[in-house]
Structure 1
Amino acid sequence: MTDPDTSTATLMLRQMLGNGLDAERSLVDRIVEDVALQIIDGRLPPGADVNSVELAKRYSSSRTPVREALLTLQREGLVDIPARKRPRVAPVTLVQAREVYEVRASLHGLVSELIVRRQPPLDVLYEWHGKLAQDAASGDVDGYFWDNVAFRQAEAEVAGNAQLARTLSSLGLRTLQLRHVSLSLPGRLERSVDDHDRLLQAYADRDAELAVAITKSIIMGGLRAIEQSGWVGE
């Protein structure tokens, strides 16, 4: 398993949260990133308590930065803060999962269409795909997941539409939580590598219709895996 403190994981989270890549992280940023990683990778499952007292002890801080961090996580949809109750990891319903994946499929389909239309260099996508193949071969689910997140972000940047890239990023951390669940299921890594290989071939062949179809199939296949897993509630 890749160390999240030194891997793609923290870099991707900082970008999505707008924390910057080079700036010194504040204590609030550190708490947000650390708790978010635990929720995304399943160490803190839906419904689990998020103990603010324990967090304050862990980070040798007062309750104030912990409270600020939890409010940020609440805005991202990862944490619920009920009145007069302990904060908890927000539950996920099947309806929410379906809505997220329908939006993702449409937006990423547009990314694929733009890539074929504009015909940019694909070197960066082949580079990330090589990392995905290595992760799958070693059974590194967390490494594969974060490299897959990076692949999709690279796709959005290669497509050349900044507004589309921002819109995809704004879908938030809840999307990452669902995607991690999907890729953690048996057999998903190998299938995903093969699907991405076919997608890159469609890009190389300048076949927009096929590229869009493969992209949507990859994403909706992730939803079907989640539905069959029973991980989310109705």
Structure 2
Amino acid sequence: MTQNATGARMLRQMLGQGGGGSLVDRIVEDLAMQIIDGTLVPGADVNSVELAKRYATSRTPVREALLTLQREGLVEIPARRRPRVAPVTANQIRDVYEVRANLHGLVSELIVRKAPDLDVLWSWQAKLVADAERDDVDSYFWHNVAFRQAEAEVAGNAQLARTLSSLGLRTLQWRHVSLSLPGRLDRSVSDHDRLLLAYRDGDAHLAVAITKSIIMNGLKAIEGSGWVEAQR
């Protein structure tokens, strides 16, 4: 994945890194990006010795980085075994997507109820349209993440935003898989356009339905792709 400015900034924010200036922060960010974009697949070994050589450091910063990624659910560190990218199951993905669909449905309901200025959402939508026209999956993915974060902020419920954030970085891996599948960008950008029109028209029922449909269609795309089975 090309680390565009939006992706790098958002990843650092999710990790609570601020400027992300330390070596540990850099290792965390690099590995997280590789896990999210599929360069490192679930179950793949993460060799701390090779990482120490790559970053010209001792194994201590590498261990600290891996512990951070373990807390975020991206890495497993089994006893007496090499660290690995955390495995994933179909049930795990479905459970998280069902929670996400309902939480984002509440976000949509709050947006319609509060009728805020939607300019920030339309600006992100313009970026999604441009990304889809270029078939730029990575840029679309990060701009989509930013769109969802902007929605949560516009909804004005800090606890809801924190709850969505608590689902963690692990969901980004799955969302990237979904958007990478054939035809998904065009479908996604069209659905987001319909969602913004529902917000504009003050149609809460439709907005909630579209939001849930967007997320659950992402789940269906993953399930239909055979991606989970291919990681075993």
Kept in 2, the 8 Å contact 1:179–1:222? The answer is yes
Unaligned runs of 5+ in 1: none
CA deviations on 1:77-121 (whole Å, 9 max, x unpaired) are 111111111111111100000011011001100000000000000
Q: How does 1:133-212 map to 2 (within 5 A)?
A: 133-212=129-208
C-alpha displacement of 1:10? 1.0
Aligned mate of 1:41, from 37, 60, 85:
37
| Partner of residue 7, structure 1 | 5
**Rounded Cα–Cα distance in structure 1 between residues aligned with 2:101 and 2:209:** 10
Partner SS, residue 232 of structure 1: helix
Aligned mate of 1:125, from 121, 125, 130:
121
Kept in 1, the 8 Å contact 2:6–2:143? The answer is yes
TM-score norm. by structure 2 comes to 0.96
- Compute the RMSD of aligned alpha carbons: 1.2
**Rounded Cα–Cα distance in structure 2 between residues aligned with 1:119 and 1:19:** 33
Counterpart amino acid of 1:78?
Answer: L
**Rounded Cα–Cα distance in structure 2 between residues aligned with 1:55 and 1:25:** 18
**Rounded Cα–Cα distance in structure 2 between residues aligned with 1:194 and 1:10:** 26
C-alpha displacement of 1:151? 0.3
C-alpha displacement of 1:135? 0.5
TM-score norm. by structure 1 comes to 0.96
1:18 aligns with 2:19: no
C-alpha displacement of 1:142? 0.5
**Rounded Cα–Cα distance in structure 2 between residues aligned with 1:114 and 1:24:** 33
Kept in 1, the 8 Å contact 2:20–2:26? The answer is no
CA deviations on 1:110-147 (whole Å, 9 max, x unpaired) are 00000000000000000000000111110100000000
| Partner of residue 80, structure 1 | 76
Kept in 1, the 8 Å contact 2:12–2:20? The answer is no
Task: Percent identity, please.
Answer: 78
Runs of 4+ residues deviating >6 angstroms: none
C-alpha displacement of 1:24? 5.2
C-alpha displacement of 1:153? 0.2
**Rounded Cα–Cα distance in structure 1 between residues aligned with 2:20 and 2:152:** 27
Counterpart amino acid of 1:170?
Answer: S
Kept in 2, the 8 Å contact 1:16–1:170? The answer is no
Bigger mean CA offset, 190-199 vs 74-83: 74-83
**Rounded Cα–Cα distance in structure 2 between residues aligned with 1:215 and 1:42:** 25
Unaligned runs of 5+ in 2: none
**Rounded Cα–Cα distance in structure 2 between residues aligned with 1:33 and 1:103:** 26
